[in-house]
A and B are shown apart, each in its own frame.
Chain A
Amino acid sequence: MTESPNPLFEFLLRQGDNALVLGHRTSEWCGVGPALEEDIALANTALDLIGQTQLWLGYAAEVEGKNRSANDLAFMRDAYDFRNILMLEVPNEDFGRTMVRQFLFDAFQVPWLSALRQSSDQRVSEIASKSVKEAQYHLERSAETVIALGDGTPESHARMQAALNYLWPYSGEMFGNDSTDQAMHEQGIAPLPQSLHKPWMQSVSNTLAQACLAVPEDPFAHSGGRTGFRHTEHLGHMLSTMQVLQRSYPGASW
C-alpha cells in the first residue's frame, strides 16, 4: 500500500473498478426487474460494463507488469486496493436509485470517454472508443427513465427525488483532483475530471428539470473510493460475494 503507485496503473484501475463494481450491482437485477423488458435491458448494461472491465483491467495488469490478469485484479484484491467511486458500490435499494445512479454516472462517462478517445495513450484511446458507444446508449436509456419516473406518479416522483438526494453527495467524487489526475493530464492521457464538472452539471440539471426533480443544494461530496483511502462498508460485502470462489479455491481454474 505504501509503495509509490504508477499513475497510469492507478488511472486504469479507476476506470476498470468503476465498470466492475457498477456492472456487478447492475447484474444483481437479473431475474427480478420491474418488467421483462427492463430486466433484459439492465442485463445488457451489465454485460457492456463487464466487457469494459475486461479491457481496462486487462490493460492495467499489463501496465503493472507483475504477471497478473484482469481476473486476478478483479477477484484477488481487497477493498483498500479498489479504486471505484463510492457512488457505484452503494446498494441498488430500488429501481429508482439504480437508474438515478446510472444516469449520474452515464452523464459523466459520455463526455469523459469521448475525451479519452484523444488520449496520447493508444490503448486508452481504443478502449474509450469502444466504450463510449455503449455509454451513449446507456445515457439515452437512463436519462429517459429518470425523466419518465420523475414525472410519472406521485410515488415514482417521491422515490426518484429520494434516490437523487441520497446519491447526490456521492456524485462529486467523479470530479476529484489528485496527483494521479495531474499526472494523467500532464502526459496527455486524460483531461482533468474537474474540467467536465460544469458541462456535466448543465446536462444533468437539464434532464432533472424535465424530470421535475430538484437538484440538491448542499455541495458536500463524499470521497475515498477512487483513492482507495476509505470505501463504504458495502464494498466488503460485495467483494465477499464476488470473490468467494477464487478466494476459497486458490489456484483453481474455472
Chain B
Amino acid sequence: MTESKEWPLWEIFIRGQHGMSHRHVGSLHAPDAERAIKNARDVYTRRNEGTSIWVVEASSITASSPSDKGPLYEPSRDKVYRHPSFYDIPDDAGNM
C-alpha cells in the first residue's frame, strides 16, 4: 500500500475579489499543476470564494528559516515611516 507514490502537495492561493492580492488558503494533493488547479476549485471555492487560483508545489517554496527571523524582519521594524500613522497630518488638511 505504501509503495505507491503519493501525489505531491500543492499550496493554494486564491484571489477572492477583483483588486485583491492572492492569499494562501491551504493545501491539497494532486498529480500535477493542472489537476491541482481543478482540485483547488473543487475544494477551496465550494462557496464561490474565488476569482483566480494559483498553485505552487510545496517543495518548490523556499522559506526563510526560523533562525533567520532576526536579521530578516528586524531591520524593517524601525522603519516606522513606512506606516501611515507615523505621519501626523493636521485635521484641516482633509481626509487622507
B43: interface (CB < 8 Å):
yes
Residues of B within 8 Å of A, CB-based: how many? Answer: 13
In the bound complex, do residue A37 and residue B46 qualify as a contact, i.e. CB atoms below 8 Å apart? no
CB-CB under 8 A from B22, the residues of chain A are none
- Bound-state CA distance A17–B41 (Å) is 27
A52 CB to nearest chain B CB (Å): 17
Contact B31 A41 (CB under 8 A): no
Residue contact B38 to A41, C-beta cutoff 8 Å: yes
Q: Give the residue of B31, B41, B42, B46 whose beta carbon is less than 8 angstroms from that of A148.
A: B31
Q: Which residues of B contact A36 (CB under 8 A)?
A: 29
Judge whether A144 is part of the interface by a CB distance below 8 angstroms: yes
For the complex, what is the distance from the CA of A41 to the CA of B46, rounded to whole Å? 10
Q: List 26 A-B contacts (CB under 8 A).
A: A35-B7, A35-B29, A36-B29, A37-B28, A37-B29, A37-B30, A37-B39, A37-B42, A37-B43, A40-B39, A40-B42, A40-B43, A40-B46, A41-B38, A41-B39, A41-B42, A44-B42, A44-B46, A137-B41, A140-B38, A141-B38, A144-B34, A144-B35, A144-B38, A148-B31, A148-B35
- List B residues at the A interface (Cβ < 8 Å): 7, 28-31, 34-35, 38-39, 41-43, 46
Query: 10 tightest CB-CB pairs across the interface, nearest first?
Result: A41-B42, A37-B39, A44-B42, A40-B42, A40-B43, A37-B28, A141-B38, A37-B29, A37-B43, A37-B30
Knowing that A35-B7, A37-B30 touch, tell me 20 more A-B residue pairs with CB under 8 angstroms. Answer: A35-B29, A36-B29, A37-B28, A37-B29, A37-B39, A37-B42, A37-B43, A40-B39, A40-B42, A41-B38, A41-B39, A41-B42, A44-B42, A44-B46, A137-B41, A141-B38, A144-B34, A144-B35, A148-B31, A148-B35
